[in-house]
Structures are given as C-alpha cells and as structure tokens.
Chains A and B, each alone.
Chain A
Amino acid sequence: MSEGVAAAHDVLLVGGGAAGLRAAIAIAESNPSLSVAVVSKVYPMRSHTVSAEGGAAGAFAEDDTLDEHAYDTVSGSDWLCDQDAVEAFVQEAPRELLQLEHWGCPWSRQPDGHIAVRAFGGMKNMRTWFAADKTGFHMLHTLFQTSLKYADLTRYDEWFVSRLLVDDGRVHGVVAIELRTGRIEAITAKSVVLCNGGSGKVFPYTTNAAICTGDGMALAYRAGAPLKDMEFVQYHPTGLPFTGILITEAARAEGGWLLNKDGYRYLQDYDLGTPEPTPVLRSMELGPRDRLSQAFVQEVEKGRTVESPYGPIVHLDLRHLGAKLIDIKLPMVRELCLKYERIDPVKDLIPVRPVVHYMMGGVHTDINGATPIEGLFAAGETACVTINGANRLGSNSLPECLVFGARAGRAAAEYAASAQRPPPVVMQQVEDEIRRIDQMRRPERGSERIADIREEMQSTMEDSAGIFRSGESLSKGSDRLAELQQRLERVQLHDETQVFNTELVTALELANMLDIAETILQSALQREESRGAHQRTDFTTRDDTRFLDHALAYRDADGAVRIERSPVTITRWPPGERVYGR
C-alpha cells in the first residue's frame, strides 16, 4: 500500500444510512470474499434515515397489486419517473421489506400477527408498512445492528469524504478526512457507491438533519457525473414552524385534518376532493405532497392562514382521533409536539407549514445505480434513478433505499470483481486535495463567516426556488449565488486544531451546498413548464411536448452549469391527468 493510503478495498460505500447499509449487507451476502467498507461522516446509526417517520410502501396486502402501486407512483411523479425503474421498484419493495422483517425490524402488526399496513398520501390502497411512527429509526437500527453480524465489514466512522479519485472516466476511491485525527488520506476501491443522502440544508426551513448537505451529489458532480432533475424539491406540507421538525403524513393517514384560520378544511377548494369525516384514499389530506404544499401558498395569498412568529401557518387537527390511537399509532408526533411546541395534540391544534423535505433529483443513475463514471454507483436520496420524477409519494423513499441500495451494492460488487487496482496517477490527486484543504485553512484569507454565507444561500433559495418560482426569481437567485461563491473564497477559518475540526467540515459542506444550489436554479430556469413540485408562475401548465424529459446538469470546466436533456422511459402508462379526490 502506498503512502497516504489508509486502506484499499474492493467496494467502498460512502454513507451509512439505509441505502449504504443495505448495499453493504447485500455484498457481504452475495460476494463474501470481497473487501467491503462503509465510510460515513457520522456513526451509521446517526444517519438521516433515522428521522423518517411514516412508513415504507410495498404492495403486499391481498387486495393490493403491483400495478396499482406502480400507477400511483407514476401519476404521483407527474409522469416524469422512468417506468422501467418503477416496475422494478414495486416488484422488489415487498421482498425487501420482508427481508427487513426477518432481520428483526419491529413492524407494527395486525391482531393475527401479520404485517399491518396504513394509508398514505397519493396511494390508492393501504400499502405502507410502519413501525409506529418511527419507521426510519427502526429500519436504520435494524440494518445497522444486522450489519454488525458481518465482522469483515470495515467501517470508517466519522470520516468526511471530500473528493472522488477519478481517472480516465473511472473511479478509484476517495480522499477523506478522519475527523478524530484530522488526517487526510485516500481510501482506494475498485468501485464506489454514493449513498450519502439529500441536500435539504440548502433551504432555510427543512425537516432534514444538519448532515444533509448534498455531499454525495457534489462529489459526483465535481467528478463529472451529471445531476438529474434537480429542480424538483419536495416540500412536506406539515413541518413544525421554527424547527422544521416533521409531523408525519401518517398523522393525516390516521385521520388528521388540515384547517385554515377559520377551522375550514381548505383542501376541498383545490380540486382534492370533498371532506369526509374519515380518511379517503387519494383524496383531501391524503393527496400528494406537492399539491398540498401549493394549496398552502394559495391559502396564504387569500389571507386565510394564521400568523405566527415564524410566518404563516395552518393547523393540523388530530384531536378527534383520541389519546389511545395517537399513543399507539403516532407516539412520536405526540412526543415531538409536547417537547418542541409544548402542546398536546390530544387536545391542541398543531401549527404546521410546508418545509423542504426531499430532493427528487440527484446523481443520474441507471436502474442498477450505475452512473456515467465507470465504477461509480449511487443509491438512495443521493441518486436519481428515477422512480420519483416530479414528485415523490410519501413512503416510497425508504423502500427505494432498500431496493436500489441492494441493486447498486450487487452491481458494484460485480464491477469490482473484474476491475483493476487504481493506477499510480490518482495519488497525484490525493496530494492536490491535501493542498486544496490546506489552502482553505490558510490564515488571512478574508473576513467572511461560514454562517453568513450559508444563511444567505438558504434565504436566496427560499425566495427564488420555493414552492412557486419564476424565470425572474430564478435568475435573480442565480446572480446572488454567484456572489456567494466568490465570498466563499474569502471565508476565514479560526479553528487551527487537527482533532475534530468541525469548522473545516462546515466549510466543505457549504461549498458542496453552493454547487448543488446552482444546479437547482439552472435546472429550474430551463424547465419552462409547471410539473409536480416545480411550479412556474410564468409557465403555469405542464408541457409534455417540450418537457417530458429529464434535465441533466453537468459541471463545465469553468464551473458553470450545463443542462442537457434525456428522454423519460415510458413502458405502460402514457401521460395523463393527475386526478385526486374525484
């Protein structure tokens, strides 16, 4: 092993959430002779999968079919998903969820011991498996604890990956900082799978954890891989104001109502159906997230929302559900409300507003997670396969991590079995990277503060690329981001210690986010239509003749974003009208 290389592996998984751990176990089971490692900037059980609440969809109940799950997903995506990927997804999701059941996931049960399923937004049948309302937490810990069974699996916990080693269109590993020591080293591998989550922190109000800074997307983008469909940013209709903490869609699936300031179930005014006392599938509060978030903005414009210290809000009403149901099915909702809002949903209304929740876009991959860079794969929120198109349905992302995590893991293992050891030239890149990071830590670079730039970036994104955007707002946002990119060069770091230098990490994350932010704006600017989560006030309708295609954002040599377009795969469901509640 050469100098500056911490270790050499066959497959390296970047990220230890649901997708990364599922991939790791898939490889450990299918190719036990391969050397597999997981590198993550946090301990795996801290990954953001842990925050997912509502559930994981898989057509498993007797009265459900794969085709119905596929159709719900396709129409939910406003026909921008790739239908071959959706077909593979719906077929493999139930098996993956069963596999997790066998690994010990505490899925909620029916009285006879079979798996229980619940309703979810945009889904025509009950097909969402759940572990109370801590589904992501239980899935992540089940995967993590199961992964401990494989003693040969190497883990690099709390290592921050700052660069991919790519030569001649092929990946050869990563450069990473070991936070514990501050060492910067290469971890080489024949194939690399990026599974390090989304980038919700580009926006100010988000359900996403502090770690969701788009690292995987930025790594791939800088290495030359395109980011796909970045203009599609999902707002979850029910986040707590200020903290952005998620109140799960399951709260509405169990019968919760959204009320405006007059106590009126306003969704009935937005072509989402008529109010019934009990939940109706694909209707009202169980409509898709994009439509619900857009309805909120229109309520604000009509002056029918409630003013709060953190801007306009509406209310989520669970009071009629009763303490017993809330404690069994939604214990975390009650816990979060009591702790963070000091209200009890059993007797109080919950203040909510739409908050950024999920990136439909991500690293462009095929159905096996392969990116255009040889040996580089991606899965989970980092990737864009895409089953989500213009709007993801709630409870599709957890099974997506499992299905495509496993697929990418197996494909990466297969690739690694035939690939060569890295060429010596990549070691030059390691030295370049060490120099780049040293450069960032140089004294007297300027007087800019990381937090100032980050906050401005976030408000820029909210103003220019929020639930509704226009050509004008997007262009203005892009100009401001260009300024922020320049200010980033003048950021002054104050922490000179090697050990656990979180200031350095924050600076690297900010650089990642600024790159991601720009791809979002440019992709949105070029999509002159309204589709799913991308709503343009200057182009208000869907335009299938011009835009039934994906946007691929490449990074040009000068750092500018270049958009190319690629066709959507349609197998069985030609584009049609999205109908909810009628």
Chain B
Amino acid sequence: MSAPTTYRQPVSRLWWLKKRTYFLFVMRELSSVFVAWFAVFLMIMVVAIGRGEASYQSFLSWAASPIVVVVNIVALAFLVLHTVTWFALTPQAMVVRGPGGRWVPRIKEVSVAGRRVPAATVVRVGGRVPAGMVIASQYAGLIVVSAFVVWLVLR
C-alpha cells in the first residue's frame, strides 16, 4: 500500500517578514556585510596613510563625499545592531565559569588510530557566570578597548 498523502506546508520566500524575531535575525545576518565594509574602509585608510600625505588627503575627501558618509552612517547603525545582538547571545552560546566552578575527573572516549578508547580527563563543572554578568563584562571590555584606542589616537 502506498504511503498516505500529506500536505506539505509551503515556506514563503518572505518568511523572514512574518515575525519580528525572524526579521531581526535576518538583519543581524545582514550586519556582517557592514562589518566587512568597515574592515575594508579601515584597510583603505591604512594603505592611504602608508602612501603619504597626498594619498591620505584624497582618502579624506573621498570619505567625506555624501555617498560614503551615508553608507558609513548606515554601516554604523548595523554595527551597533551587530554588537548588541551578539553580545546578548554570547552567554547562550558559551558557558563562562567563575571561581565557583571546580575541576572533576571524567572519562571520555577518544579516537586513537581509528579506534575508540577511554581516556581520563578533567572537566569543569558549576560556577557558571550569570548571563547578565557575561553581557556586562563584554561592554566593559568594549569600553576599555575603545578608551585605549582613543588614547592612542589623541596622545
């Protein structure tokens, strides 16, 4: 007997517009393009500086052109989105352990010459740092690094 029929629910091309969270996700993914843009922009600047004063001046006037300014404003907005969303996701993706954690022995299987053998190892348990603290420390780190860069540029 053949398998009974089922109805396959179609997925719309615009699925990412159906929920605010889906839309935010797609924007977060899109933000990586602008992160790449900033990297390229910085590289162009570094190269321009390396080539001497004239080159740097022409870079500056290009960077001040309306189109580049608009692109950079948009890119900055996406960069902020990128930073905020990824900082928020970090504690979910990564277990950060504080002083409350401890090392305990654990046996794991490892592959040796294609064969699985048990091996003694240690793993960390407990002492998980709360999500809020992980997020806060990322912002703290960002501020420290930014301050250092500002100091480097302005000294």
* A residues neighboring B (CB under 8 Å): 180-181, 183, 499
Query: Taking the nearest CB of chain B, how far is it from the CB of A542, in angstroms?
Result: 54
Chain B nearest CB, measured from A370 CB (Å): 36
Shortest distance between the CB of A182 and any CB in chain B (Å): 9
Kindly provide the distance from the CB of A86 to the nearest chain B CB, expressed in whole angstroms: 39
Give the residue name and chain of the B residue nearest to A180 (CB). Answer: B4
- CA–CA, A180 to B2, complex, Å? 12
Residue in A closest to B2 when the chains form the complex, CB atoms: A181
How close is A73's CB to chain B, nearest CB, in angstroms? 38
In the assembled complex, which residues on chain A have CB atoms less than 8 Å from the CB atom of B1?
181, 183
A183–B1 CA distance with the chains assembled, in angstroms: 10
Residues of B within 8 A of A181 (CB): 1, 4
Closest 5 A-B residue pairs measured CB to CB?
A: A181-B4, A499-B4, A180-B4, A181-B1, A183-B1
What is the minimal beta-carbon distance from A111 to any residue of chain B, in angstroms? 12
Q: Residue-by-residue, is B46-65 near A (CB-CB < 8 Å gives 1, otherwise 0)?
A: 00000000000000000000
Subset of 5 A-B contacts with CB under 8 Å:
A180-B4, A181-B1, A181-B4, A183-B1, A499-B4
Q: CA separation between A70 and B4, bound complex, in Å?
A: 52
User: How far does the alpha carbon of A499 sit from the alpha carbon of B5 in the complex, in Å?
Assistant: 9
Within the complex, the shortest CB–CB distance from B100 to chain A, in Å, comes to 15
* Assembly CA distance A358 to B4 (angstroms): 38
Q: How large is the interface on B (under 10, 10 to 19, 20 to 34, 35 or more residues)?
A: under 10
A183 neighbours in B (Cβ, 8 Å): 1
As a 0/1 sequence over residues 1 to 39 of chain B, the CB contacts with chain A under 8 angstroms (1 = contact) are: 100100000000000000000000000000000000000
Chain A's closest residue to B5 (CB) is A499
Distance in angstroms from A157 CB to nearest chain B CB is: 15
Closest Cβ of chain B to A315, distance in Å, is 35
A183 to B3, CA, bound (A): 12
Q: Which residue of B lies closest to A500 (CB)?
A: B4
Nearest-Cβ distance from residue B149 to partner chain A, whole angstroms: 45
A181 to B1, CA, bound (A): 10
Smallest Cβ distance from A399 to chain B, in angstroms?
A: 30
Q: State the CA gap A543–B60 with chains docked (Å).
A: 104
Shortest distance in angstroms between B63's beta carbon and chain A's nearest beta carbon? 56
B147 smallest CB distance to A (angstroms): 41
Q: Report Cα–Cα, A183/B4, bound state, in Å.
A: 11
Nearest Cβ on chain A to B64's Cβ, whole angstroms: 58
| B:49-102 near A, CB below 8 Å | none
Bitwise, B109-145 to A at CB < 8 A (1) or not (0) is: 0000000000000000000000000000000000000
Using Cβ atoms and an 8 Å threshold, which residues of chain B touch A499?
4
Q: What residue of chain A has the Cβ atom nearest to residue B104's Cβ?
A: A113
Q: Once bound together, how far apart are the Cα atoms of A180 and B4, in whole Å?
A: 8
User: Chain A nearest CB: distance from B50 CB in Å?
Assistant: 60
A542 to B1: give the CA distance in the assembly, Å.
59
Within the complex, the shortest CB–CB distance from A527 to chain B, in Å, comes to 49
Bound: A180/B3 CA distance, A: 9
Considering the chains assembled together, what is the distance between the CA atoms of A499 and B6 in angstroms?
10
| Chain A residues whose CB sits within 8 angstroms of the CB of B4 once the complex forms | 180-181, 499
- Distance to closest chain A CB from B108 (angstroms): 16
CA distance A7 to B62 in the complex (A): 77
Q: What's the minimum C-beta distance from A159 to chain B, rounded to whole angstroms?
A: 14
A411 and B7 CA atoms in complex are apart in Å by 44
- Min CB gap A571→B, angstroms: 44
A109 to chain B, nearest CB (A): 13
- For the complex, give the distance between the alpha carbons of A180 and B5 in Å: 10
Can you name the residue of chain B whose Cβ is closest to the Cβ of A113?
B104
- Bound CA–CA A556/B76 (angstroms): 84
Residue of B nearest to A498 (CB): B4
* Residue of B whose beta carbon sits closest to that of A499: B4
Min Cβ gap A102→B in Å is 15
Closest Cβ of chain A to B1, distance in Å, is: 7
- Residues of chain B lying within 8 A (CB to CB) of residue A180: 4
Closest Cβ of chain B: how far from A398's Cβ, in Å?
29
B2 to chain A, nearest CB (A): 10
CB distance from B3 to the nearest CB of A (A): 8
Smallest Cβ distance from B103 to chain A, in angstroms? 15
Q: How far is the CA of A180 from the CA of B1 in the complex (A)?
A: 12
Min Cβ gap A244→B in Å is: 34
> Separation in Å of the B130 CB from the closest CB of chain A?
16
Q: How far is the CB of A548 from chain B (nearest CB, A)?
A: 54
Once bound together, how far apart are the Cα atoms of A499 and B1, in whole Å? 14
Task: Give bound CA distance, A119 to B107, whole Å.
Answer: 34
Nearest CB of chain A from residue B49's CB, rounded to whole Å: 58
Q: Kindly state the separation between the CA atoms of A413 and B64 in the bound complex, as whole angstroms.
A: 84
CA distance A181 to B4 in the complex (A): 6
B109 to chain A, nearest CB (A): 16
Whole-angstrom distance between the alpha carbons of A181 and B5 in the complex? Answer: 9
What's the Cα separation between A181 and B6 when bound, in Å?
11
